[in-house]
Amino acid sequence: MPPVKDMQPRIIPILVSLVVLLSGCTTPIDDHQSEQIPLQMSFSAKTLDRAEDGGIDYDLSDKFSESPVLILWIAAGCSGCHDWTQLIRESVDNGSLNSTSVNIVSIHRWSEIESAEQIMEVFGLKDNNSNYTPWPIVLPSESDMIIDFATGETTDFTIYEGFNNPGTPTVQLIGQDGIKMWQSKSYWANYSMLEEAWEIAELISN
């Protein structure tokens, strides 16, 4: 067995090689990942530009001055989205739920897959359409970013990322401070669940 002092010159090159190899396995920290999604969120995006949409642009922060906001994430080919749309509309129309307690908005979730024309056909038209949506329909894109409601600064997170990449359908209640307060847990529309969201909205309303 060679003496320890004879092994030292051999060990040093080996250690240097290991350091070089390991350094190639490391990756720099992604600035996007290191940044946190703000707790208080807002955004601005295009709408279907119907009369019901209140203009071609929708600014979530404008609605916070009135009441909490109920967001329904939709897709044209999503049966659960049709179901939730019908339940919300009918519950407001028949007075079961107070229309002044929340601002309702539907947001198209899959703009890279479905067209605005498909959303208009399924949700936007009133005549002979059980999925007709009498509140704003927003059509965000991957270039529309979350705004930090507390600072007014635009973040590096898309609207989808800001709201935790929701599946469809997903219903979320956003407080007037831009904080998400509630989220649905059912694919199919559920009145008890919707009533719970309304009760929370009335409790937190300014």
Q: What is the pLDDT of residue 206?
A: 81
Q: What is the pTM of this model?
A: 0.84
Residue 150 to residue 53: CA distance in whole angstroms = 25
- Full pLDDT tens readout for the chain, 206 residues: 555 455 455 554 444 444 433 433 333 444 445 589 999 999 999 999 999 999 999 999 999 999 999 999 999 999 999 999 999 999 999 999 999 999 999 999 999 999 999 999 999 999 978 999 999 999 999 999 999 999 999 999 999 999 999 999 999 999 999 999 999 999 999 999 999 999 999 999 98
Quick one: tokens of 70?
């109920």
Residue 164 to residue 80: CA distance in whole angstroms = 19
Residue 80 to residue 31: CA distance in whole angstroms = 36
**Superfamily name and number for 37-204:** Glutaredoxin (3.40.30.10)
Question: Angle 136-140-145 (CA atoms, 0-180°, nearest 5)?
Answer: 120
Domains in the chain: boundaries: 37-204
For CA atoms 40, 183, 115, 157, the dihedral sign is positive
